[in-house]
């Protein structure tokens, strides 16, 4: 059974069994390295991708459930060789130490800012709640979200 998914704007026919986690298809079949295997239980956020404009964890999401969907990975946020404003903000704020959580934090932030251009601190914390950072970069991550908001919407907070 072939499953069709569009990843980062490119259409792919996937021949994996329908219950194969999307993360495995992205990494093993499509060669994308940004979504990471963290916990395998949808609890750490390292595997987060966008399904449309919704941040979803991909480590347990069966590939059959995204048949026909638009999937964006961290690699797909880059346009014309330029980092997305969220990626730029995370770099500018040095919002990562080990970087393992960065994929999930950036993808969740992008989804949040597309959905809610000017989120409250509570909305930011709720959107990032499913992403674990063990290095303690939380303050920098929150600053990066605010910087991304300003970069995306051309306004200073």
The matching CATH number, chosen from 3.30.110.70, 3.10.20.30, 3.40.109.10, 1.10.3720.10, for 3-74 is: 3.10.20.30
pLDDT computed for residue 156 by the predictor: 54
pLDDT computed for residue 136 by the predictor: 86
pLDDT level of residue 157 (50, 70, 90 thresholds): very low
Quick check: do 3-74 and 85-153 share a fold? Answer: no
157, burial (CB in 10 Å: exposed 0-12, middle 13-18, buried 19+): exposed
* Partners of residue 62 on adjacent β-strands: 21
pLDDT digits (tens, 9 = 90+) for 116-147: 999 999 999 999 999 999 888 999 999 999 99
Domain ranges of the chain: 3-74, 85-153
**Alpha carbon distance 100, 7 (integer Å):** 22
- pTM strictly above 0.85: yes
Architecture of domain 85-153: Orthogonal Bundle (1.10)
Determine the average pLDDT of the residues in 9-20: 95
pLDDT digits (tens, 9 = 90+) for 33-62: 999 999 999 999 999 999 999 999 999 999
pLDDT digits (tens, 9 = 90+) for 93-113: 999 889 999 999 999 999 999
**Alpha carbon distance 1, 13 (integer Å):** 10
pLDDT computed for residue 149 by the predictor: 97
pLDDT computed for residue 130 by the predictor: 92
40, burial (CB in 10 Å: exposed 0-12, middle 13-18, buried 19+): middle
């Amino acid at each position: 059974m072939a499953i069709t998914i569009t990843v980062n704007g490119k259409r792919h026919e996937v021949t994996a069994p329908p219950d194969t986690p999307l993360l495995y298809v992205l990494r093993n079949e499509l060669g994308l390295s940004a979504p990471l295997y963290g916990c395998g239980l949808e609890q750490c956020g390292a595997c987060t991708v966008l399904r449309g404009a919704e941040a979803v964890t991909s480590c347990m999401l069966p590939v059959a459930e995204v048949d026909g969907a638009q999937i964006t990975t961290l690699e797909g946020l880059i346009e014309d060789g330029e980092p997305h404003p969220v990626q730029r903000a995370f770099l500018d704020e040095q919002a990562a130490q080990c970087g393992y959580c960065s994929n999930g934090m950036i993808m969740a932030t992008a989804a949040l800012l597309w959905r809610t251009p000017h989120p409250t601190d509570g909305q930011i914390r709720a959107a990032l709640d499913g992403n674990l950072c063990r290095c303690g970069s939380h303050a920098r991550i929150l600053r990066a979200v605010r910087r991304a908001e300003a970069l995306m919407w051309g306004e200073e907070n």
